[in-house]
Amino acid sequence: MAGQVPERAQVVIIGGGIVGASVAFHLTELGWTDVVLLERHTLTSGATWHAAGLVGRLRATHNMTRLAAYSADLYERLEHEMGHPTGFKKVGSVSLADNPGRMEELVRGAGMASCFDVEVEVVGVDELVERWPLLNPEGLVGGVWIPGDGQASPVDTTMALAAAAKERGARIIEGVTVERIRTVDGRAVGVDTDQGPVDAEYVVTCAGMWSHE
């Protein structure tokens, strides 16, 4: 996905990990087509490449639970409706409690997840062993079973998001390093890259752990 750096774009996204690809996907889904993603190496070459790809729907807060449920649905939609494989396998997950406090936390989380239509079952130790026969049940109090959880390929999912964004007009350009975000009166107006400047109305930093640079 190499290409020439344009002189201007409505939106410049810095970084081609799963977050940058997702921003490009969602902007183009909203109808923003003048979107340029700049990645200094290749897509997924940052932290995304290392991820195990575990997709869990139950999170500590309402908003994170909504976001996680949305993500899992999106990975299926990308594959089945848009034809971009993400490798998502809905194998389910078990979360374990080895003390009453942890069990209470899981039960509360399960109640919250149910409010967002995330299917969750609070289960006893016997069912946990049934679900995962290699489990050592010693000291366990119980747990929750979430059938909709699973595992995706982080690389395939990023490529799927990028491909869908490209189909809708985004430009994904690899091998371009952003050296500086240009600002006027404290507002981003573009970026300087190792292949020339790009003017932009919006600059979105998705450079992960390198964002501080």
Residues that bind ligand FAD (CB under 6 A): 14-20, 38-41, 45-48, 50-54, 177-178, 206-210
Q: Pick the closer one to ligand FAD by CB: 9 or 178.
A: 178
User: Any alpha helices (H) in 7-153, and if so which ranges?
Assistant: 18-29, 62-80, 100-115, 125-131
112-140 core/surface letters (b: 16 or more CB in 10 A; e: else) = bbeeeebebebbebeebbebeeeeeeeeb
Residue indicated by tokens 């594959």: 79
Closer CB to ligand FAD, residue 13 or residue 128? Answer: 13
Give the nearest distance from C-beta 44 to ligand FAD in angstroms: 7
Angle, vertex CA 68, rays to CA 67 and CA 69, nearest 5: 90
Q: How far is the CB of 36 from ligand FAD (least distance, A)?
A: 11
Give least dist CB 157 to ligand FAD, A: 10
Of 143 and 158, which has the nearer Cβ to ligand FAD? 158
Strand partners for 198: 191
Q: Which residue, 31 or 63, is less far from ligand FAD as judged by CB?
A: 63
